[in-house]
Amino acid sequence: MKEINIVLTQTNTIISKTLKFFSKKPYNHISISLTDDCSTMYSFGRKITWFPFIGGFVKEDINHGVFKMHPETNCKIYKLEVTDAEYYTIIKRLNNFLNNPNKFKYSILNLLLIYFNIPFKREYYYVCSSFVTYLLWGIIPLKKEISLMIPDDFNDIELETIYEGKLYNYINNFAYNN
């Protein structure tokens, strides 16, 4: 068995605050981490820290980008145990993004369609929640079509919560205790 972490976050950016206003949910971003300390996470988000309208596949950590700008970021971290075969499936899917990062784009259109509950799938276009859901497709039970998943939907899946609080504190405490 292997473990991965699913990381829900809420930063203090204008975009994040806007999403929270419309969704009324505590967390409006989701990432996946293959490390216990969540020092490296993968998701879909802004490619340029100061310009939120160019997005795509991103490798995230607290020492760079939005998380560095917003150390007060709140998070909820789930641990998911997977079989070796499921882990291999996740890695295989993730490697497609790692090997071709510029092929994938952030789908602003899907943000609007999610709000109106309209499923829509375009090849190479994702939002953070559809990306994480795609990586976990067939591994976790889904109640929605991949393109309609939002970060909060992961609160309804039987996952083990390992932390809730400031992302910066989790990563620093993990480093201090290990």
pLDDT in tens, 155-164: 999 999 999 9
Q: What pLDDT score does 14 carry?
A: 84
State the architecture of 2-177 in CATH terms. Answer: Alpha-Beta Complex (3.90)
Residue 174 has pLDDT above 90, yes or no: no
Q: Which of 45, 39, 67 is nearest to 151 (CA)?
A: 45
pLDDT at 165 over 70: yes
pLDDT digits (tens, 9 = 90+) for 90-149: 999 999 999 999 999 999 999 899 999 999 999 999 999 999 999 999 999 998 999 999
* pLDDT tens sequence across 66-77: 888 888 999 999
State the angle between helix axes of 84-99 and 128-136 in degrees (0 to 180), rounded to the nearest 10: 140
Between 171 and 150, where is the model more confident?
A: 150
Domain range annotation of the chain: 2-177
Question: What pLDDT does 54 receive?
Answer: 84
pLDDT, position 2: 96
Beta bridge pairs of residue 55: 46
pLDDT for res 175: 60
pLDDT > 80? residue 53? no
pLDDT for the residue 58: 96
What predicted TM-score, i.e. pTM, was given to this entire model? 0.93
| pLDDT (0 to 100) of residue 125 | 97
- CB contact at 8 A, 79 and 96: no
Q: What is the pLDDT of residue 178?
A: 60
Residue 165 and residue 77 in contact, taking contact as beta carbons nearer than 8 Å: no
